[in-house]
Amino acid sequence: MNADIIIIGGGIIGTSCAYFLAREGLKVVLLERNEIASGTSSAGEGNILVSDKLPGPELTLAQLGRSIWQDLANELPDDFEFDPKGGILVAETADDWQALISHTQKLQHAGVTAQLLNSDELYELEPYLARDLAGAALFPEDAQGYPPAACRALVKSAQQHGLIVLDHREVLAIKHTQHNAVSAVVTTQETISTPCVINAAGPWSKQVAILADCALPILPRKGHLLVTEPLPPRVYHKIAEIGYTTTVTQAENDLQVAAVVEGTKSGNILLGSSRQFVGFDASIEQRVVQAILQRAQRFFPLLAPPPAFHVRVGFRPYSPDHLPIIGEMPDVPGFYVNTGHEGAGFGLGPASAKLLSELILKRPSVMSIAPFHPARFQQG
């Protein structure tokens, strides 16, 4: 068997790559160890955010991603619960309020639509929020989708252009030519010849890179997500405390929890968020669950006592400089990576895939890929 391009990983990054490349008439094979969207994409909130970014290349990528998601909502064959509902960052204390003002102004100067809210404006938008908050800001460009449905819709569209999906395949080896270029991928069921491999394995991309004799500084960052039973609408935007924007970028080994509360089109309320470096330990930790509940109840008293809920545990692909890693690996021609998005993979996924597809096809890019290139970890 042969392919023009092999993509390893069937989450939002891999399926987005498949979507953009299959449309170009290339023979694309997507390999997935389990089933489509069964890894990180099965445990995320589906956030498409600009509000938690800082001015710089990641924000630019997020803005591109937001635009592409809007187009995909109109183009994909199946609904994936796209909801352009907007997000609200809230401040609990006076110090938080000053931090929120500064954060909002920085994003406004970078071209993000944002509005500081007074109490009347806030509680008109979110009447069930706690009444003693110091302030809030509205970010109407924030949106949400349902990752498993989005992955399946991207695959379905790509299959109409010839995409081949081989699931329940574990990659055992990546073969090279005598000049160290990629030549084939060996799975548990077949060997597929190819000149081009995309490593889109998320938290497991470091292990896949090792098969290609490469090093990637990716670590799994564990997160718990609480999903309530379907409820009457009570949360109308994505609500996050301003502290969430700092826990995303910090690298402490200790448990970090910041309140994130949002409803879904299906009626569930999603409660997060936690961040830990504990390897691939997927156990549910009650201390983390309780910490998430307590922060959520602080901002939404109606959640005490909590409704019935179940817990999802997943792993984010953490990059040391908090920027995705997108591009061709130095010294291994034909081996490309698209990983390191941490908790922003859903929002950034289609934009990252578009950038990588333009690189592979040698076309002009809509934005510079240089800040994300894997060579930056080999410099200095």
Structure tokens at 105: 């102004």
Q: What confidence tens digit (pLDDT) does each residue in 101-132 have? A: 999 999 999 999 999 999 999 999 999 999 99
pLDDT on residue 248: 65
Beta bridge pairs of residue 262: 270
Q: What is the mean pLDDT of the chain?
A: 97
What CA–CA distance (Å, rounded) separates 341 from 343?
6
Rg of the chain's alpha carbons, rounded to an integer? Answer: 21
pLDDT on residue 245: 83
Q: What confidence tens digit (pLDDT) does each residue in 14-47 have? A: 999 999 999 999 999 999 999 999 999 999 999 9
How distant, in Å, are the alpha carbons of 169, 184, 212, 248, 276 from that of 173?
A: 12, 8, 7, 33, 30
Residue 117 one-letter amino acid: L
Beta bridge pairs of residue 371: none
pLDDT on residue 228: 98
pLDDT on residue 251: 65
Share of the chain above pLDDT 70, in %: 98
Q: What confidence tens digit (pLDDT) does each residue in 72-108 have? A: 999 998 999 999 999 999 999 999 999 999 999 999 9
- φ, ψ at 376 (rounded to 5°): -65, -25
β-strand pairing of 238-241 with 269-275: unpaired
Q: What is the mean pLDDT of residues 65-75?
A: 98
Residue 380 has pLDDT above 50, yes or no: no
The more confidently predicted of residues 246 and 261 is 261
Indicate the pLDDT class of residue 250, thresholds 50, 70 and 90: low
Q: What is the mean pLDDT of residues 152-156?
A: 98
pLDDT on residue 252: 67
Q: What confidence tens digit (pLDDT) does each residue in 324-356 have? A: 999 999 999 999 999 999 999 999 999 999 999
Query: In 3-state terms, what secondary structure has residue 155?
Result: helix
Structure tokens at 157: 């569209």
- φ, ψ at 36 (rounded to 5°): -55, 135
Residue 227 one-letter amino acid: V
Give the containing element (helix H, strand E) for 335: strand 335-339
Domain ranges (residues) in the chain: 5-73+147-216+321-378, 87-140+219-318
Q: What angle do CA 236, 237, 241 make, to 5 degrees?
A: 125
Per CATH, which fold does 5-73+147-216+321-378 belong to? FAD/NAD(P)-binding domain (3.50.50)
1 by Cβ neighbours in 10 Å (0-12 / 13-18 / 19+) ranks as middle
130 by Cβ neighbours in 10 Å (0-12 / 13-18 / 19+) ranks as middle
When the candidates are 3.10.20.340, 3.40.640.10, 3.40.30.10, 3.30.9.10, the CATH number that belongs to 87-140+219-318 is 3.30.9.10
Residue 244 has pLDDT above 90, yes or no: no
Asked if the bond preceding 16 is cis, omega within 30° of 0, the reply is: no
pLDDT on residue 253: 72
